Amino acid sequence: MRPPNFWFAKTHSFFSLLMEPISWSYGLVHKSRYKRTKPWSAPIPVICIGNLLVGGQGKTPVAISIGQFLTNKGIKIHFLSRGYGGVIKGPIRVNLSKHTSNDVGDEPLLLAQECETWVSSNRALGIQSAYQGGAEVIITDDGFQDPSINKDLSIIVIDGEVGFGNGRLLPSGPLRENIYFGLSRAQAVVIIGNDHFNIKEKLNEFLSNQQNNTLKIFEATIIPKTNIEKLKNKRLYAFSGIGRPKKFFDTLERIGSCVIAKINFKDHHQFSQREVKNLVKSAKKQEALLVTTSKDYARLSNDQKKHVTEILVKIKWKNINDRKILLEKYLR
């Protein structure tokens, strides 16, 4: 579903206030899960890439960046995902020549292009399968709010252009949990994009009031891997069904593309033949290149992909040594 506008409004709306009692109950249930659940410890290190808000914050690009770094250091990493949007519960190793987004979801297909990837609705079983399959380190894409698994390193990804929304818990706001309760369990935060809400300053204020202030703060941006020069001044007809499509459209405009259309679909939308046919027809009529994100591209059929250009992106860390600092304990 698309997030309601009041989640990110500067003032609390009537609908947000109306749902606040439900949010209180949600918060109490969430905290009680942690009190009564004894986490299982895996035989190998588990690195969790999570967030505090629902929707796209940039977890998957960060997971891929960290996976690539460790792989280049000779460490056998395996990704783990619950496979949101797919029908297979697992645990199963993703096979790019066999599985589709209907089987395992879109994110595992992206992760599997980089390293071995497992899909499992039960994360403990998924980790055990990856361990038996030769993994030395597990990177979970999401799962920060799962108390059943002990994490050796938890990294919270925050979209700097969204911040924490209206600061309220679901369904009154976009927060999956209380901000400070989440930060107290994390070892690092990665702020993606422009820090419009002074998140870094607020995090430093939070740390100054904590006895254990070991939380590391990093900054990064999402940039296209696709040849930027080919996209500059190019007429683009863009469509997307991700958590926050605006981030994709803004990226295209930031590199100098002329985005003549911005078509939104719900997150993880499965595109029909008719929808893609209409998009192709509209782009041709406008003499524009039809483009979409990697996640959306993964949900297209092979025939549909022939008519759409995938815009690949990657994480650019503010400082070249950030990943080394973040992952130093796992380096050989």
User: DSSP labels for 267-288?
Assistant: TT----HHHHHHHHHHHHHTT-
**Total number of residues shown for the chain:** 332
275 and 149 in a single domain? The answer is no
Query: Which 3 state secondary structure label does DSSP give 258?
Result: strand
Range(s) of the domain holding residue 134: 40-163+179-222+316-330
Question: What is residue 117's three-state secondary structure?
Answer: strand
Using alpha carbons, list the distances in angstroms from residue 331 to 1, 186, 197, 318, 323: 40, 20, 34, 21, 11
Residues 242 and 210 reside in one and the same domain: no
Residue in the block written with tokens 């008519």: 307
Q: What pLDDT score was predicted for residue 56?
A: 75
Residue 330 has a pLDDT of 79
Is position 35 within any domain? no
Inside any domain, residue 172: no
Q: What is the DSSP letter of 2?
A: P
3 state DSSP class of 141: strand
Give the pLDDT confidence score for residue 107 in this predicted structure. Answer: 95
Question: Do residue 95 and residue 235 come from a single domain?
Answer: no
pLDDT at 209: 79
- Same domain assignment for residues 116 and 196: yes
Amino acid at 95: N
* List of residues 6+ apart from 130 with CB closer than 8 A: 78, 80, 91, 116, 118, 138
Question: Could you give the CA distance from residue 252 to residue 271 in angstroms, rounded to a whole number?
Answer: 22
Report pLDDT for 159.
95
- Evaluate whether residue 277 is within a structural domain: yes
Whether residue 64 is found in the same domain as residue 203: yes
Residue 20, in any domain of the structure: no
Is residue 269 within 8 Å of 241, Cβ to Cβ?
Answer: yes
In this structure, the answer to whether residues 235 and 214 fall within a common structural domain is no
Q: Which amino acid, one-letter code, is at 177?
A: E
The answer to whether position 131 is within a domain reads yes
Q: pLDDT tens digits for 199-225?
A: 999 898 888 877 667 899 999 999 888
Same domain, 272 and 131: no
CA distances from residue 104 to 107, 141, 313 in whole angstroms, order as listed: 8, 13, 21
H helix runs in the chain, sequence order? 14-18, 20-36, 59-72, 101-104, 106-112, 123-132, 179-183, 199-208, 228-231, 245-254, 273-285, 294-298, 302-305, 322-326
What's the confidence (pLDDT) of residue 12? 74
What is the model's pLDDT at position 1?
A: 61
d(CA 4, CA 8): 8
CA distance 61 to 239: 19
| Residue 245 is assigned to a structural domain of this protein | yes
| Residues 238, 324 share a domain | no
Q: Which CATH number fits the domain that encloses residue 131?
A: 3.40.50.300
How many domains would you assign to the chain? 2
Which stretches of the chain drop beneath a pLDDT of 50?
A: none
Let me know whether 272 and 302 are in one domain: yes
Does the predicted TM-score (pTM) go above 0.85?
yes
Residue 58 lies in a domain: yes
Q: H or E element: which one contains 37?
A: none
Same-domain status, 50 and 147: yes
pLDDT at 89: 95
270 domain residue, yes or no: yes
pLDDT at 175: 96
Contact 174, 54 (CB under 8 A): yes
| Residue 210 shares a structural domain with residue 300 | no
In sequence order, the β-bridge partners of residue 310 are 292
